[in-house]
Amino acid sequence: METKVDELKQDVAWFLDHLKHERGASEHTLLAYQNDLHAIAIHFAGQELPHWSQLTTSMLLSFEATLGAPMARTSSQRRVSALRSFLKFLKRNNVGPTIDLPSTGGFKPPKTLPKALTKPKVNDLLAAAVPEEAATYRDRALFELIYGAGLRISEAVGITLDAVRLNDQVIRVTGKRGKTRVVPLPDETARWLRQYLDEARPKLLKKPMEQLIISDTGKVMARQTAYQRIRRMATLAGIEGHLSPHTLRHTYAVHLLQGGADLRAVQELLGHESIATTQVYTQLEMDEIRKRYLDAHPRQ
């Protein structure tokens, strides 16, 4: 069996070399692939597989049957994904099997619903961000960009001055893959951004900068710092549990839908490429409708 394992591992080594030198994979990625593919090679060597080109559908199904509990779903998905990438590489080099590549679909974790803040909790956060100094004005402006405009944290800290048009109450946002969208600003968000620009940003600024959000040291605010400032606001508001900027973005979407916004419009505002990504929020709506129905129904 050791001879068969060694022969199967030779092609694994070829694939890892390709990942390292042609794809620029990190050591962490290479080690993960190596561990998974070596375990897979040992399995198929036990199935008397002489070469990867002779892998059969029944062998593949037998391998997939070994995955799942007690192995974590994410580990199972990673292992199948590693095998799929490896076999795809062998096929491109004309030494792979002729069978269909394995699918990771059965091991993908179910989509989890986003956790949104209630409107009273949002009000608590607002009350905690009472501007007393330049930094708290800045924190409120950051909050308004994420909750008021639904920006990702990377988008919020990357917004430039020329992207903000307060007279028109819109901002131009560059999102994932360089895709640009124009997002309307609610009245309160526009008002707080104007106050920040007039009363706080000049005090934080140490040298001319194009970024809107400035850190306490006069530099571009790092995403990690933005996380910390949002958590500080949550602590002041007495909100327990984990609160991240992404929670505020989720809350923005949920509150829009609860207010009657069209799903397609919310997709555009969030910068989602696929409507399927946005549809997860409709489940939140159905949960709320179901709860109200059960509370009101006389048979309950």
Which DSSP string corresponds to the chain?
A: -HHHHHHHHHHHHHHHHHHHHTS---HHHHHHHHHHHHHHHHHHHHTT---GGG--HHHHHHHHTT-STTS-HHHHHHHHHHHHHHHHHHHHTT-S-SSPPP-SGGGPPPPPPP-PPPHHHHHHHHHH----SHHHHHHHHHHIIIIIT---HHHHHH-BGGGEETTTTEEEEE-GGG-EEEEE--HHHHHHHHHIIIIIHHHH-SS--SBSSB-TTSSBPPHHHHHHHHHHHHHHTT--S---HHHHHHHHHHHHHHTT--HHHHHHHHT-SSHHHHTHHHHHHHHHHHHHHHHH-TT-
Over range 88-111, report the average pLDDT: 74
Query: What is the Cα–Cα distance from 125 to 218, expressed in whole angstroms?
Result: 25
For residue 105, pLDDT beyond 80: no
For residue 103, pLDDT beyond 70: no
Domain residue limits, the chain: 2-105, 119-294
C-alpha radius of gyration, the chain, whole number: 26
Decide whether 2-105 matches 119-294 in CATH topology. Answer: no
| Each residue's pLDDT tens digit, 179-190 | 899 999 999 999
> 152 vs 291, which has greater pLDDT?
152
| Each residue's pLDDT tens digit, 19-39 | 988 888 888 889 999 999 999
Confidence of residue 211 (pLDDT cuts 50, 70, 90): very high
For residue 171, pLDDT beyond 90: yes
Q: What pLDDT, on the 0 to 100 scale, is given for residue 296? A: 57
Over range 222-242, report the average pLDDT: 86
Whether the model pTM is above 0.85: no
Q: What pLDDT, on the 0 to 100 scale, is given for residue 197? A: 95
Q: What percent of the chain has pLDDT over 90?
A: 34
- CATH of region 2-105, choose from 1.10.287, 2.60.120, 1.10.150, 1.20.120: 1.10.150
| Each residue's pLDDT tens digit, 77-97 | 888 889 989 999 999 998 888
| Each residue's pLDDT tens digit, 45-69 | 888 888 898 888 888 888 888 877 6
Domain 119-294 has CATH 3.40.50.620: no
For residue 224, pLDDT beyond 80: yes
Q: Which residues are catalytic?
A: 152, 176, 246, 249, 272, 281
